[in-house]
Amino acid sequence: MGEKKYDNRELSWLKFNERVLEESEDERSPLCERLSFVSIFQTNLDEFFMVRVGSLHDEMLLDDEKDNKTNMKASEQLEAIREKVKELYSRKDVSYQNLMNKLQEHDVHLIDFAKLDQKEGNYLQQYFEREILPLLSPITVSKKQPFPFIKNNEICAVAVLETKANKQRLGIVPCNNGMFKRLIPIPGNKGYYMLAEELILHFLPSVFQGYSITSKSLIRVTRNADIDADKVFDEELSYRDHMAEVIKMRKKLTPVRMEYTRDLDKKVLSKMKKFLNIDKDMIFKLHSPLDLSFVFEIQDFLRHKPELFFDKRVPQKSPSLDETKALLPQVLEKDKMLHYPYESIRPFLNLLHEAANDPEVVSIKMTLYRLAKHSKVVEYLVEAAENGKQVDVLVELKARFDEENNIEWSRQLEQAGCHVIYGLDGLKVHSKLCLITKKTKEGIKYITQIGTGNYNEKTARLYTDISIMTGNQLIGKEADTIFKKLSLGEVMEETEALMVAPKCLQDKIIDRISREIDIAKNGGQAYLGIKINSLTDKKIIDKLIEASKAGVKIDMVIRGINCLRSQIPGVTDNIRVISIVGRFLEHSRIYIFGQGEREEMFISSADFMTRNTLRRVEVAMPVFDKDIKGRIREIFNTLLSDNVKARVQKEDGSYVYIAHENPLIDAQDKLYDLAYEAVGSEV
């Protein structure tokens, strides 16, 4: 079988984004929601080029390193990516156009000048000259004027200019400087709009007066954003100031992709390739706008039509907590679980607020990775510090694309008197861990919260995550040790209850898989149930293959990257992999080892990726409470039963919708129904 049992990481990610694109094509979903998915597809692809393609580009230039699973060189991966991306672009263009055509039935039209009458054209010309032209910064490229720096993912109008002496120059105009509206309404025609970049492109003769324009297009350049912050660390700066410098560096890195929308002369494309120092195979022509973020503004125009959106769903109260009473005693008495977005994050926020004001609470310790813009978490940590509590916060400044946000939060926390730690050398702290310490008459008591997702009120309404709050003192003591280690720049060397990466997670997972293998070989019923976002860790993959060969039944719910091919006869035919891409982003991580009396269950912040298992601080928490175990098992089984939004992986690595059976089950809808039923609310 050789390499056929593995999938390449990057190509597997593109398969995931293809599933996102499929959601834009799914006629069972409301129109405006499908429009969201086509925009999400594009945003995902932008980040993929900035991070993964950027990294492969660097590897190719250095030593053309091979992938450790498929043995593909970096150059071969880039070629395969190019071919797949071309295919996906064509499909995205078709999906986008179909959706925009359907929008016309709801009186929303995105138009060009060919469809305007003279009166409308005159209005737009006056609008352009009054509102846009004074704010533009056009440049002509010549021997005296070098090619300008084009910002990452900035839309620019490009024109081939011809002088009266028949000499050619290149004209460039940045189109999205944030100083004018992008979606421009056409007066007298309610629901008719034009994009600002299209307006600028049309009126380029007014911008470059004295020139003839022989061809023109819109372009967008994507730059490599993959910087190893630790490798470029400047010891002259504080770590926070250093990360601010890293953000500036990222904006200036090498271009890895160019997109354009109109035909451009081959000579011009060749010049652009030379100016940008970009591979010709990474230049793509599109037949849809270069940035689809404007679709969310269009959605706002249609909010009065609820049939164009998913049915409204509101996070429910947790039936296990009485929010009219003090929460800390309830958690000390019995473990509590919250399941987002089906249940509200509010009880955890209230718990934090209560701790900030409880006279017995002496300290709050917390890891922060991504936060909401208006964060109640930070507000309550600040309140706790102002009330004299010891507040220790590890703020991960290397949370990709959230660095600026986290830098600002770290400043606010420090100013309030919190002790702020900035992570470890070479390791991101990705764990979701909060420890509240009470000093009571009976002695020290710990309340620990461990989750699968960030302390972010916004994403708690969009991502599926599990949060468990416990008064288990063993877990509390280990959490306290984790924080002590982090404050000293160290990691956990051994643990009893928790799994803690980088040294005490991968090996514990391998050991538990080995246990199931032994049980299967001795004729027992062996089982593994795994829900994660991504699977790339080769050591774990190979152990799962070994388990499958031994007869261990394995169910896996993997939303994104999956480098293991299931259903290969005699190799991985005991492994079933499904991916659910739907209304909510599947983000929770669940590990189940064994069944019945032997069952061990964990929730975790860690995917089965080498970066998580060996290069990050991650925490997996055992689930001891029988009621919570039952709930998580119900969640996992509900996901496995999905036959609406789930795709199953085939032997060749492709994903197909599960054949429709009756009754149809959309797992996310069903889990919301269960949340409503649990508190006696009407759906």
Query: Which residues are identified as catalytic?
Result: 430
At residue 670's C-alpha, the angle toward residues 668 and 676, to 5°, is: 105
* CB burial readout 58-71, b (16+ within 10 A) else e: bbbeeeeeebebbe
Query: Scanning the structure block, which residue is given the tokens 């964060």?
Result: 375
Return the C-alpha torsion angle 627, 630, 635, 638, nearest 10: -140
Q: Is the dihedral of CA 115, 119, 125, 130 positive or negative?
A: negative
| Separation of alpha carbons 420 and 395, rounded Å | 7
H or E element in which residue 366 lies:
strand 361-368
Q: What is the Cα–Cα distance from 475 to 249, expressed in whole angstroms?
A: 41
Show the tokens assigned to 33: 């929601």
Here the tokens at position 235 are 């010891």
Q: How many CA atoms lie within 13 A of 344 on its CB side?
A: 15
Residue 591: partners with Cβ closer than 8 Å, 6 or more residues away? 509, 529, 530, 601, 602, 603, 604, 620
Could you tell me how many residues make up the chain? 683
Say how far apart CA 532 and CA 580 lie, in whole Å: 11
Q: How far apart are CA 121 and CA 117, in angstroms?
A: 6
Dihedral sign of CA atoms 426, 430, 436, 437 in order = negative
Tokens standing for residue 129: 């000259």
What are the residues whose beta carbons fall under 8 Å from the beta carbon of 31, sequence distance 6 or more? 99, 102, 103, 106, 308
**C-alpha span between 191 and 230 (Å, rounded):** 50
CA–CA distances in Å: residue 332 to residues 228, 380, 440, 514, 680: 42, 21, 13, 35, 26
